[in-house]
Amino acid sequence: MNKNVLILLIMVLGLAGCDSHSPGMGRSISSFTGPVLQRYHDPQQVALGDSLYRQHCIQCHGQNGVGAEDWRHRDTEGMFLPPPLDGSGHAWHHSTAELKQMILKGSPAGQGKMPAWRDTLSDSEVDALIVWLQSLWPDEVYVAWDEMQQNNR
């Protein structure tokens, strides 16, 4: 795709997100390939995910999932710092199943300090956390994530 067309498309998608709805709360957004995507996150799941995030995740991933400032670099122990979850990092590159496994099992050995939450959080609570973090993602990130999921099926 021509670079100028891609830039224009991203700008149009950004402007399309400027409406009175809360992020991700039942609205149509255009995808890169043309079809309209219905973006909806159950408000009860979002509220539960927000509450769980504040209880278990905020101390490492920060307010609204902004992550550690230097998250791309390893710390003095050779571990990666907590990444952003708000769509500005790489979390959106992972499927829902991969995100769920990361939360349940924690960081792969030697990569980070994320603990396993499988003994603390139920499957439905992990699902709510994922819905909450996806509700933070800008439309263009959510669209890219959705299209990646469609292509990987």
The CATH homologous superfamily to which domain 3-151 belongs is Cytochrome c-like domain (1.10.760.10)
45-55 confidence digits (pLDDT tens) = 999 999 999 99
133-143 confidence digits (pLDDT tens) = 999 999 999 98
Q: Looking at this protein, which amino acid is placed at residue 68?
A: A
pLDDT of residue 7: 36
91-128 confidence digits (pLDDT tens) = 999 999 999 999 999 999 999 999 999 999 999 999 99
Q: What end-to-end distance do the CA atoms of the chain give, in Å?
A: 23
Q: Which two tokens stand for residue 50?
A: 């927000």
**Confidence band for 19, pLDDT divided at 50, 70 and 90:** very low
pTM of the model: 0.78
pLDDT of residue 113: 95
Name the residue ranges covered by the structural domains of the chain. 3-151
Which residues, in sequence order, are CB contacts of 13 under 8 Å at separation 6+? 29, 30, 139, 140, 143
Query: Are the C-beta atoms of residues 153 and 146 closer than 8 Å to each other?
Result: no
**C-alpha distances in Å from residue 72, one per residue of 19, 26, 93, 106:** 33, 33, 15, 18
Please give the Cα distance from 131 to 14 (Å, whole number): 21
**Confidence band for 39, pLDDT divided at 50, 70 and 90:** confident
**Confidence band for 153, pLDDT divided at 50, 70 and 90:** confident
